[in-house]
Structure 1
Amino acid sequence: MRWGGIFPISVVLAGCLAFLSSGCGPSVNRYLLIEQSLLAGNPQQAAAIVEQTKDEYGAKGRLLYGMDRGMVLQVAGQYEQSSAVLEQAEEDVERLYTRSIRTETAAFLTNDNMLPYEGDAHEHVMINVVKALNYAVQGQIQEALVEVRRIDHRLNVLGDRVKDPDKYRNDGFARYLSGILYEAAGDLNNAFIAYRNAYEAYQAMKGWARMSPPPSLQADLLRTTEALGLKTEFERYRQAFPDVMWSPSLSSSGEALAHVVLISYNGRAPRKEDMFLDLPISLDAAQLVLLNRGVFQGPYQRDRVADSLLYGLNGRVVRVALPRLVPQKT
């Protein structure tokens, strides 16, 4: 199957966006205003709110600002601006790989807000996914394929680095989108490879993502293996998906067939918060932690910085800041 000219992708918003609310610290009120604008069908206003509140993100939230702004600009249909903003965000990701030991230590003892927000692995991949969609909507398939290759590189590196199968180390949707774009460019062989990788990624993600491969992906695997003459693979997939309906790539007269691809953003991203663990390394330190936590009805309530100073003076308590994701109602 081959698409010519403009690649038609409709983007439908239901709830909040993938990047929004993903970082530590930004104003909740700001995100409420952005969400209200999006739910009211006014993404232009949402984009304006992000831009007007740039100072609230601060220097440490520069990457988060870029991801938020790039996302709402896409939903507002400003694809070129969205790609430009996300290109800068991608450069920020690379820049933030290097951190000072002093800043790392401060964040370890207090909270992650001490660090510039560098994003999580899935957000880095999402930057390239959104850029690929931007280019595809504008009919710039070759530019979209540049992002596809960046996605492939990121996920391959991540897969080599992260060994725990219950952690994010691959991305079924990003792989699937890659296959769609390869097929749009007429590269059926790479499309099949991407579809196969997507299917394997969805299978591997089942445990923690609770997502199964979409039926459309199963149909794409059947269609591309048949078109490429991969009889063994075709028979294996046909046995695996006996109930899946699919159509060949060519009509009975030999003309290439096409279909509309609809991309829909659904739901709200979880909110990231800090969870603190106080690890005593002596009996006296354990008593200090219990006292400070009110177990012994201590008379004072200290904030995070005061706690860290107290534990630092004791010298036998280590405070660890661990980020956690808090689901939000959709």
Structure 2
Amino acid sequence: MLKPIFSKFVCIFMVFTLSGCATMQFRDLFSGYAQQMKPVKLKAINGHFDQALQEVPIRDMSDTNYILALLEKGRLTHLAGDYPSSKNYFFQASGYIDEQKLKAKLQVSKGIQNIGAVLSNDNAITYEVPDYEQSMMHSYQALNYLYLGDHEAALVEIRKANLVQRAALENNFDVINDAIVNLQDDAKLDWQSISATYPEMEDVIGEAKNGFQNAYTFFISAVLYEASGELNDAYIDYKKALEIYPDNQYLQNDVLKLATKLGMTDDLVNFEKRFGKYQKNEQKNTGQVVVIYDQGLVEERDEMRLRLPVYTSDAEMRFYSVSLPVYHKSEQYFPNAQLSINDEILTFDQIVKVEALAAQTLKSQLPSLITRQVIRLIAKEKMRKKMSKEGGDVGNILANIYNLSSERADTRSWLTLPQSSNILRSDLTEGHHNISLKIGSLNKEINLDVKANRITLVNITATGNHIDYKAINL
């Protein structure tokens, strides 16, 4: 009696396995990405980047998480100072993303992946890199090129980052609205009631208006343009960064300075009303020091259960528990950081909170996520009924065990990004300088060789008790 039942269950399971084996590793079915990445984050947070790199799960090009492995390795090798390897990983990632976009335009079928996703969970779907992660990838690639002495390639890369944001701004709202309509029409669910039940994540999102406008990218872009003498382009990107972070004192001074230099009379009147007069303090034989401070590692997505009223294939309304990703407020503590320059203590201003962009991105994805969950629930319920009918209690038990164990939220995201980044800017006389960085009880001496009329870019990273920096004259 049991043999036919087990045979049928094995056949159903094999349909899933064969449909998903080319795209999904078996461990991803029952273990979330965030859980698998804990050893990587633990080593990275303590500054052991080479060891963390060895812990990144091995993925091949057919794997649904292949792109994530490239991004994690790109960031870890960047942190380790291995810029050629980091450049190579990000180059591969960028090519893979472009290929996926082309497939989407050509509407290449995802039937095989969809079968696996319907019978398992969203981890069977190839990871689509969200806009904020794409812009961060291009930003770090730009830094790689700078450190390798290729300023032109860095500018090309930063333009790609800005194109990502521009395209996202044009497409984002239509995509979200379409997903909400599909959720209400196809899944017959009330989006308003779901929104009221799902955590708002406002304590994570803060003042971030969306998940793709990234002031970090705009700021790096503006600095590179300014260093190249392209002041009009620099001014545009400083203004874009200021729109996102209007209280950032360094961005305020940047737009006042360039508006004055470029003779932007109308803009200058408006900015001076908001921020006061531009205090010109440019002296001979001085250069500008621009500091970008990346702190911590971004929070991972957590998993939560949400009970939804779902209409089955028999038009019966039942309540089902579904697993959905969510962001909770970070428990990471970041002490204040400050630089001592020529007996003057300077503090940092935030330029991006990566976890806020991540939470806003997830919030915009929810309608599509829930729609797929409902379709999955109905498909799994059909499978359970079929097995129960043909295998009795044993078939019913086997189907329930599989359904419960495979019900996993999609917790995938790029987890070696910083939690947030901050900036600082100051003028220094030409020559060698030792400046002191203080982060809580930790201290770090930073050695700079400042050139007159040039920008010295300093990138500081702090994870746990590990602090490192890289300085370059632009």
Using the size of structure 2 for normalisation, the TM-score is 0.50
Match of 1:264 in 2: 294
State the match for 1:223 in structure 2: 257
Aligned to 1:26: 33
How far residue 257 of structure 1 moved from its aligned partner, in angstroms, is: 3.1
SS of the residue 1:264 aligns to = strand
CA distance in 1, matches of 2:32, 2:293: 30
1:309 deviates by 2.7
Query: Given the superposition, is the C-alpha separation of residues 112 and 265 from structure 1 closer, same or farther in structure 2, using an over 3 Å criterion?
Result: same
* Structure 1 match to 2:317: 286
Deviations 1:281-315 (A, max 9, x none): 5775224x56x99xxxxxxxxxx989733246779
Whether the 8 Å CA contact 2:142–2:154 is kept in 1: the answer is yes
More strand by share: 2
Secondary structure, counterpart of 1:260 in structure 2: strand
137, 142, 154: which one pairs with 2:152?
142
- Corresponding residue for 2:223? 180
CA distance in 2, matches of 1:76, 1:233: 42
- What secondary structure does 1:262 align onto? strand
User: In the aligned structure 1, how far is the partner of 2:409 from the partner of 2:48?
Assistant: 36
The reply to whether residue 89 of structure 1 matches residue 93 of structure 2 is yes
**Does the 8 A contact of 1:70 with 1:86 survive in 2?**
yes
Tell me by how many angstroms 1:214 deviates. Answer: 2.3
What TM-score, normalized by structure 1, do the two folds share? 0.70
**In 2: Cα distance, 1:231 partner to 1:139 partner:** 37
Task: Tell me if structure 1 keeps the 8 A contact 2:300–2:411.
Answer: no
Percent identity between the two aligned chains: 22
CA contact 2:45–2:297 (8 Å) conserved in 1: no
The offset of 1:215, in angstroms, is 1.6
Residue in structure 1 matched with residue 129 of structure 2 by the alignment:
119
Unmatched tracts of structure 2, length 5 or more: 1-30, 177-207, 323-374, 387-406, 420-463, 465-474
- Provide the C-alpha distance between the structure 2 equivalents of 1:25 and 1:321, rounded to a whole number of angstroms: 7
Q: Which amino acid aligns with 1:194?
A: D
Shift of 1:47: 2.1
* Contact 1:225–1:231 (Cα < 8 Å) also in 2: yes
Q: By how many angstroms is 1:42 displaced?
A: 2.0
Rate the CA distance shift 1:194–1:95 in 2: closer, same or farther, 3 A.
same
| CA RMSD across the alignment | 3.8
Residue in structure 2 matched with residue 309 of structure 1 by the alignment: 380
Deviations 1:2-32 (A, max 9, x none): xxxxxxxxxxxxxxxxxxxxxx93362x523
- How far did 1:224 drift? 1.2
- Could you tell me how far apart the structure 2 residues matched to 1:176 and 1:323 are? 32
For the Cα contact (< 8 Å) 2:84–2:144, is it kept in 1? yes
Mapped pair 1:62 → 2:66: yes
Q: Indicate the residue corresponding to 1:168 in structure 2.
A: 211
Superposed CA offset, 1:157-179 (max 9, x none): 11110137943242222111111
- 1:104 paired with 2:114, answer yes
One-letter amino acid of the counterpart of residue 73, structure 1: T
Query: What is the identity, as a one-letter code, of the residue corresponding to 2:228?
Result: A
Match of 1:129 among 118, 122, 139: 139
AA at the equivalent of 1:310:
E
**Would you identify which runs of 4 or more consecutive aligned residues in structure 1 move more than 4 Å?**
55-58, 244-248, 272-278, 281-284, 304-307, 312-315, 320-326
- Structure 1 residue 59 displacement after superposition: 1.4
Residue 239 of structure 2: aligned partner: 196
- Contact map agreement 1:63 1:92 (CA 8 A) in 2: yes
Paired residue secondary structure (2:267): helix
- Are the equivalent residues in 1 in contact too, given 2:216–2:241 (CA < 8 A)? yes
| C-alpha spacing 1:272/1:123, structure 2 compared with 1 (3 Å) | farther
1:34 and 1:49 in contact (8 A); partners too = yes
Q: In structure 2, the residue corresponding to 1:59 is in which secondary structure?
A: coil
Structure 1 gaps of 5+ residues are: 1-23, 204-211, 294-303
Change (3 A) 1:32 1:270: closer
- Cα distance in structure 2, aligned partners of 1:259 and 1:110: 52
**Residues 25 and 127 (structure 1 numbering): CA distance in 2 closer, same or farther, change over 3 Å?**
same
TM-fit CA distance, 1:72: 0.4
